[in-house]
Amino acid sequence: MKKHPEILVINPGSTSTKLGYFTGTRPEEIKSVNHLTDAKWNTLTEELQFEIRLRETEIFVRHRKPDIIMARGGLLKPLPSGVYVINNKMLDDLKRSPMKHASNSAAPIAKMISDKLGVPAYIADPVTVDELDDIARFSGHPLFQRKSVFHALNHKAVARTYARQKGKNYEDLNLIVVHMGGGISIGAHKKGKVVDVNQALDGEGPFSPERSGTLPAGDLVRTAFSGKFTRAQMLEMITGKGGVKAYTNTADIKEILEKNNPEQVKTVDAMIYQIAKYVGEMIIVFKGNVDAILLTGGLAKSGYIINNLKSYLSFLNLDIRVFPGENELEALAFNGTLLWNGQIDAKIYK
């Protein structure tokens, strides 16, 4: 068996489909299909969007024969960190998932192509990885349990990368990982497990470019029952049309900073302020015993955001490292290589 497998990586996002072809962890070709070039994209049904993503993936892999396929994990039931075989149970759960996200299409696309090519397909560290401490599940009312929904794939990859750079094991470190993208998740990685993290999809945390994060609960309830908004509009207010977008009518942080409109920049400053506050919460989880803070995601490419965030955090005298970008394609290829070489075992989704 060859040491370095050829790996097809599939990562659908809300407005793009990112594809990668790797030899081991070395990228041979990366392609990002921007679906917003089609003005009708957001009006298409989920089925039509799926067909477009599938066709783009088939075109990308045409004339190639990967050894394995690695896909982004979708909104599955809570499960431990790891690599999972894509099976019918997983596909059925994704189809029935009450939470909708583009990542739900990754496993079905991977399975269709794997069946056609006769190669195995897997996911790794889906967003529903759940390692929360029991005490972190309390919300304040028994009807509402805190849930673990976050950017687990990039969190884990960045944390392991930092550990390797330091010549240490991920399982021996206490890390705070801050993923900043369309959504923002801040996790406490305690000796290899994310024991606390904000529910970054539609639940809590700092507001982000398009998500509202934690809102005043009483005001939210009163607004929901005011008769002015439908259920769908309320959910959009929280995810998709919330956060910076709600204040400025755009989720493009780069554009806001380039135009330098004072009121719009103030909104970005408020987002940074909230991120810093939630980092402070995670420091409490460790009772101050933190080895490093890792800043990652697409927004970590912004010098403005990183510098202003560091201005809040520098007094802590902690190692603050920046890993710009989402790194999700690379993380999937890395997990696929570990699996191929027998360094980890695939788990069965049940």
Query: With contact defined as beta carbons under 8 Å apart, do 309 and 206 qualify?
Result: no
Residue 149: closest CA among 211, 91, 79, 238 = 79
The gap from C-alpha 90 to its chain's centroid, in whole angstroms, comes to 19
Find the largest Cα–Cα distance for the chain: 64
CATH 3.30.420.40 region(s) of the chain?
A: 6-130+328-348, 152-324
* pLDDT at 3 (0 to 100): 82
57 CB burial (10 A radius; 0-12, 13-18, 19+): buried
Ramachandran bin of 227, using left for φ above 0, alpha for ψ from -120 to 50, beta for the remaining angles:
left
Task: Tell me the C-alpha distance between 68 and 322, whole Å.
Answer: 31
Residues of the chain with pLDDT under 70: none
Q: What is the pLDDT of residue 101?
A: 83
Question: Which CATH code for domain 152-324?
Answer: 3.30.420.40
What pLDDT shows up at residue 14? 77
pLDDT score recorded for residue 77:
94
Per-residue confidence (pLDDT) for residue 276, from 0 to 100: 98
The per-residue pLDDT for 39 is: 83
pLDDT value at residue 167: 98
Give the count of alpha carbons within 13 A of 71, CB side only.
31
Distance from C-alpha of 302 to C-alpha of 102, rounded to nearest angstrom: 25
Task: Tell me which residue of 188, 194, 187, 178 sits closest to 294, measured CA to CA.
Answer: 178
What class, spelled out in words, does domain 6-130+328-348 have in CATH?
alpha beta
Tell me the pLDDT tens digit for each residue of 109-154: 999 999 999 999 999 999 999 999 999 999 999 999 999 999 999 9
Contacts of 326 (CB under 8 A, 6+ apart): 151, 154, 181, 296, 297, 298
